[in-house]
C-alpha cells in the first residue's frame, strides 16, 4: 500500500523557540499515529535540533525546504544535499512554485537538485502545478506533464520509487482557494497515469502523491477522499498545532 503522508511546509516562518515548541506540541498530540508519516519541512537552521526532537517517534521526520544543485565548493550561502544527509535529513522539498517564481529554479536547476538529493539518499518531495491562466486556458495537464518529464523522467525506476510528488496548483497556494476534490483527484489520477505510461503501473501505484494548496482542517477530509490523493503538503495551516493535528487526524480517519 502507498504511504499516507502529511507534510508541513513552514516556509520562512517561526523563531527558533516557536519552531521547537510547535514540534514538541505536535509530537505530544500525535503519539499514537500509525501508518501516517508526518514530515515537518523547516528552515535550514532548525533542522538539526528538530531531528533530535523527533527521534522519539518513528512516524515523524524532518525535511529541508531546498538544497543546492551543486555538489560542493565555493557557493556562499548554499547548502549541499550531502550536508543535509550528514545530519540525517531524509526528505527535501524541490520544485516548489515559490522557488520557481522568485528564485530562478528553472527546470534544469530543479533537475540537478533532484539528482543531488537522490545521490545522497534523500527523497525529493517534487512539487508540480499550473498557474491560474494555464488552468483557464485548459493547459494544466500539459504543464504538469512537462514538469514531470523535465525534472523526473530521466530517473530510473528505482530512483522514481524514492520520490514523493506533490500537486500544488499555484492558484491555490496561500490564497484560501482550494482545488475541489474533483479537480485534485482528476490531476492526481493524471499524474499517476503519466508515471504508469513512462515506467510501469506497479511503479505508479507505489508513489505517494500529495495535494497542496490551502489545505485546512475544514477541507482536508473531503480532499483525502480522492482515491489518488495520498496526503497533503500543508503551508499556512501547518504553523498552527491544532489545525495541523486535525489534518493529520483527517488522514488517519481514512485508513
Which residues are designated catalytic?
Answer: 96, 168
Instruction: Pick the binder of ligand PGA from 50, 233, 248, 251 (CB under 6 A).
Output: 233
CB of 247 to ligand PGA, least distance (A): 10
Instruction: Pick the binder of ligand PGA from 95, 129, 231, 235 (CB under 6 A).
Output: 235
Q: Is 174 in the site for ligand PGA (CB under 6 A)?
A: yes
| 8 Å CB contact between 47 and 35 | no
CB of 158 to ligand PGA, least distance (A): 27
| 8 Å CB contact between 230 and 251 | no
Q: Pick the closest to residue 223 from 171, 164, 182 (CA basis).
A: 182
Q: Pick the closest to residue 192 from 228, 139, 166 (CA basis).
A: 228
Q: Is 173 in the site for ligand PGA (CB under 6 A)?
A: yes
CB of 93 to ligand PGA, least distance (A): 8
Query: What's the CA gap between 90 and 199, in Å, rounded?
Result: 24
Instruction: Pick the binder of ligand PGA from 236, 244, 245, 247 (CB under 6 A).
Output: 236
Contact track, ligand PGA, 131-170, x by CB under 6 A? -------------------------------------x--
Tell me which stretch binds ligand PGA (CB under 6 A): 31-39, 155-163, 190-198, 211-219.
Answer: 211-219
Query: What's the CA gap between 6 and 12, in Å, rounded?
Result: 19
| 8 Å CB contact between 189 and 229 | no
Nearest residue (beta carbon) to ligand PGA: 235
Tell me which stretch binds ligand PGA (CB under 6 A): 18-26, 31-39, 58-66, 207-215.
Answer: 207-215
Query: What's the CA gap between 215 and 109, in Å, rounded?
Result: 28
Tell me which stretch binds ligand PGA (CB under 6 A): 32-40, 74-82, 182-190, 208-216.
Answer: 208-216
Rg, the chain, Cα only: 17
Residue 143, all three cell numbers: 504543464
Pairing of strands 60-64, 36-42: parallel
Q: Is 9 in the site for ligand PGA (CB under 6 A)?
A: yes
Element (H, E) at 211: strand 209-212
CB of 78 to ligand PGA, least distance (A): 22
Q: Is 39 in the site for ligand PGA (CB under 6 A)?
A: no
Q: Is 239 in the site for ligand PGA (CB under 6 A)?
A: no
| 8 Å CB contact between 201 and 243 | no
- Between 195 and 220, whose beta carbon lies closer to ligand PGA? 220
| 8 Å CB contact between 210 and 167 | yes
Q: Is 40 in the site for ligand PGA (CB under 6 A)?
A: no
Kindly tell me the sign of the dihedral angle through the C-alpha atoms of 138, 236, 92, 250: negative
Contacts with ligand PGA by CB under 6 A lie at 9, 168, 173-174, 212-215, 233-237
Amino acid at each position: 500500500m502507498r504511504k499516507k503522508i502529511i507534510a508541513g511546509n513552514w516556509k520562512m516562518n517561526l523563531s527558533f523557540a516557536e519552531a521547537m515548541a510547535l514540534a514538541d506540541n505536535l509530537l505530544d498530540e500525535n503519539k499514537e499515529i500509525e501508518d501516517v508519516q508526518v514530515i515537518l519541512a523547516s528552515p535550514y537552521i532548525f533542522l538539526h535540533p528538530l531531528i533530535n526532537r523527533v527521534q522519539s517517534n518513528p512516524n515523524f521526520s524532518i525535511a529541508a525546504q531546498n538544497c543546492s544543485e551543486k555538489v560542493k565548493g565555493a557557493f556562499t550561502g548554499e547548502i549541499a544535499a550531502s550536508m543535509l544527509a550528514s545530519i540525517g535529513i531524509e526528505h527535501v522539498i524541490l520544485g516548489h512554485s515559490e522557488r520557481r517564481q522568485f528564485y530562478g529554479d528553472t527546470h534544469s536547476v530543479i533537475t540537478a537538485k533532484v539528482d543531488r538529493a537522490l545521490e545522497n539518499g534523500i527523497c525529493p518531495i517534487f512539487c508540480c502545478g499550473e498557474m491560474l491562466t494555464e488552468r483557464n486556458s485548459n493547459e494544466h495537464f500539459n504543464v504538469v506533464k512537462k514538469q514531470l518529464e523535465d525534472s523526473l523522467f530521466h530517473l530510473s525506476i528505482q530512483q522514481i520509487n524514492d520520490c514523493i510528488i506533490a500537486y500544488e496548483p499555484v492558484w491555490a497556494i496561500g490564497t484560501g482557494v482550494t482545488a475541489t476534490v474533483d479537480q485534485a483527484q482528476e490531476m492526481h489520477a493524471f499524474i499517476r497515469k503519466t508515471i504508469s505510461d513512462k515506467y510501469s503501473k506497479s511503479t505508479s501505484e507505489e508513489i505517494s502523491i500529495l495535494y497542496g494548496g490551502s489545505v485546512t482542517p475544514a477541507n482536508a477530509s473531503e480532499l483525502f477522499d480522492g482515491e489518488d490523493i495520498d496526503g497533503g503538503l500543508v503551508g499556512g495551516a501547518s504553523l498552527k498545532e491544532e489545525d495541523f493535528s486535525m489534518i493529520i487526524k483527517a488522514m488517519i480517519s481514512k485508513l
